[in-house]
Amino acid sequence: MRVAVHLTAADARDALTRRTDACAVIIDVLRATTTITVALAHGAARIIPVESPERALALRAAHHALVCGERDGRIVPGFDLGNSPTEYVVERVRGRTLIFASTNGSLAMLAAARARRRIAAAFVNAAAVVEALADEREVAIVCAGKLGDFALEDAACAGLLCARLETRGAKLEGPAARLARAIAPREPAEVRTILEGASHGRYLRSLGGPFADDVAFCARLDTIDHAYEI
């Protein structure tokens, strides 16, 4: 297995301009791929990523869907759900299509649209993602980043996946994969430290209440035993 890492959605979009046989692993730890993983674990039927709130609202009726996501961390006016994993309870999402427009995560999913397969990854399901990649020959890990820039929490999650895949014989390709591997957390306490210290983690914690609770939720390691395609 060959593993490449793209540290921002823009990097991935530039690299994955043509149809590829790679399996894309999408990471937006705070909070889109954590939230999507929870939603799918709770029975959501399908995720449709879109680039903007306007596009999400325009598609709502056609898909009889819930519109979900955020801008600046907060739910968009008129949306059904925001971007907190705790909102996506079974009773709300089971069997529903979710149109998802988050600031960064949706763009990362769209950047990997030409990949043969896309998997949502976060710390909460890292072990399950590694298992899901067992038979892949080429993996492209796509970090959402933040507003086009590097995001520590996404790179660290990519690094954890790289470290675990490396123990199974994977070959890391390129400086981004090696950088991510170098900052991979080794234990749950390090995951929480990274998320609390990261720029977006500090921003969410500054909002207080459920936003701060989301940071702690997203720092949970290997608590969901399934990896979901999106």
Could you report the per-residue pLDDT of 69-122, keeping only the tens digit for each? Answer: 999 999 999 999 999 999 999 999 999 999 999 999 999 999 999 999 999 999
- Whether residue 99 contacts residue 44, with contact meaning beta carbons closer than 8 Å, is answered with no
Question: CB count, 10 Å around CB of 17?
Answer: 10
pLDDT (0 to 100) of residue 127: 98
* Pairing label, strands 115-121, 228-229: antiparallel
3-state secondary structure of 120: strand
List the one residue out of 162, 123, 146 whose CA is nearest residue 7. 146
Secondary structure element (H or E) that encloses residue 179, with its range: helix 175-182
pLDDT score, position 19: 74
**H/E segment holding residue 131:** helix 126-132
Output the CA torsion sign for 85, 89, 95, 101: negative
Q: Which residue has the tokens 């990261």?
A: 198
- Token pair 């959501």 is found at 44
Q: Considering only CA atoms, which of 132, 140, 153 is closest in space to residue 34?
A: 153
**Distance from C-alpha of 91 to C-alpha of 74, rounded to nearest angstrom:** 22
For 205, the token pair is 């914690």
CA distance 92 to 67: 12
64 backbone φψ class: left, alpha, beta (φ>0; ψ -120 to 50)? left
Contact (CB, 8 A) for 222 and 126: yes
Are residues 164 and 130 in contact, defined by beta-carbon separation less than 8 angstroms? Answer: yes
pLDDT of residue 20: 80
Could you say which residues of the chain have pLDDT below 50? Answer: none
Could you tell me the domains of the chain? Answer: 2-229 (3.90.1560.10)
Collapsed DSSP state (helix, strand, coil) of residue 169: coil
Say which amino acid occupies 65.
A
d(CA 83, CA 77): 13
Query: What are the structure tokens assigned to 40, written together?
Result: 């799918």
